[in-house]
Amino acid sequence: MEIIAKLGSILGLSFIAGINLYATVAVVGICAKYQLVQGLPPEFQVLAHDAVIFVAIFLYLIEFLMDKVPGLDTLWDSIHTLIRPLGGAMLALMQVGEASPAMEVIVFMLGASLASAAHITKAGTRLIINASPEPFSNMILSTGEDVVAVGYSYLSLAYPKITFFLTLACLTVFLLVFPLILRTVRMLFAALFFKMKCYMQKEAAWMASKTVPLTYDLFYDRHKDPDEKLCWTGRAHSIKIPGIPRFSPLQVVITSKAIHFLYRRRFQIREKVLQLQEISYHKTYPGMLLVKWLLRTDNGDWLLQLYQPLSTTLPHDLTPKDEVDANPF
């Protein structure tokens, strides 16, 4: 059980340092200085120095303010992409004391990896939250992170056995949500770069809506009906499309008969087709980078995100073209 307790403290402090390094250092320093927790490693006395505690609290207050402002929190997270993993590795090394060089390297890598996992989760979640138009969710999440950072740091020192199992649970959750975070971050950056491209090239959105990329075009050309004609195409990301993972990148192709959703899975291009006659209603919901596009069918709603400039070129009429020609009035 002593090994579990030791690992619990190492894993817990390294992990929470990836979320808020300065709060973690401040809590460890205060606990060591005022002996709030007994049996701490003697190496933690360095963090109990008044100057270290003062600087940690000062930097924590700066982070506290930066985290409450959308945009500035992302900048702050970017700056700390290396700082937090190194801080987590440092806290892990301080707890092993005198050890062999091989053990020190292992603990360093373990601490840096745990802090990196927590940092990626925090930064990715913030990007997702910042995409929301309302500011309150960002403040609520930031305040929750502050509370968790202080509480988890103390828990890692006072109850390391509990922290051991909590950290393992957190890592399991991270492994489950990491693909979703990765797809979401990729979606947001792709939308940002496309919007910047449209600012520099006014016709970029119109040109993108008329041409299917080569790899997708070859697949689409083999699977379309002979009399199907291209009406519109564009990049998008799934939110709620049957059989397609959430936030997966798509190439949407609207033809005279159907909407083709082309996407990659396990290095292969796949297709989901929605016939235009199945759509009873469609509507877009505006956003700064991404526009939600709702497709209502008798079998349920389909929802996806379009790049904002591309949404302005989206056809309003999704009636099958043969029906339009047969009933012009």
* Nearest-angstrom CA–CA distance, 12 and 166: 8
Distance CA(15)–CA(8), nearest Å, equals 10
Q: pLDDT at position 284, please?
A: 92
Q: What percent of the chain has pLDDT over 70?
A: 95
The confidence score (pLDDT) of residue 189 equals 86
Pair of tokens at residue 109 = 């890598």
Sign of CA dihedral 275, 281, 282, 285: negative
Query: Helices in the chain by DSSP H: which ranges?
Result: 2-17, 21-33, 50-66, 72-79, 83-96, 101-130, 136-158, 160-200, 204-208, 214-223, 308-311, 321-326
Q: What is the DSSP string of 183-224?
A: HHHHHHHHHHHHHHHHHH-TTHHHHHTT---HHHHHHHHHHS
Instruction: Report the distance separating Cα 112 and Cα 106, nearest Å.
Output: 10
Quick: pLDDT tens for 299-321.
Answer: 899 999 999 999 999 998 888 86
Contact in structure between 16 and 116 (CB atoms under 8 Å): no
Model pLDDT for residues 80-120, shown as the tens digit of each residue: 999 999 999 999 999 987 778 899 999 999 999 999 999 99
pTM for this predicted structure: 0.77
Q: What is the pLDDT of residue 155?
A: 96
Can you give the pLDDT at residue 99? 79
What is the structure's pLDDT at 185?
A: 83
At 138, the pLDDT band (50, 70, 90 cuts) reads confident
Residue 219 has pLDDT above 80, yes or no: yes
Query: Which tokens go with 261?
Result: 């959703």
pLDDT in tens, 50-70: 999 999 999 999 999 998 887
Collapsing DSSP states into helix, strand and coil, what is residue 112? Answer: helix
> Is the torsion defined by CA of 105, 111, 115, 117 positive or negative?
positive
DSSP state of 244: B
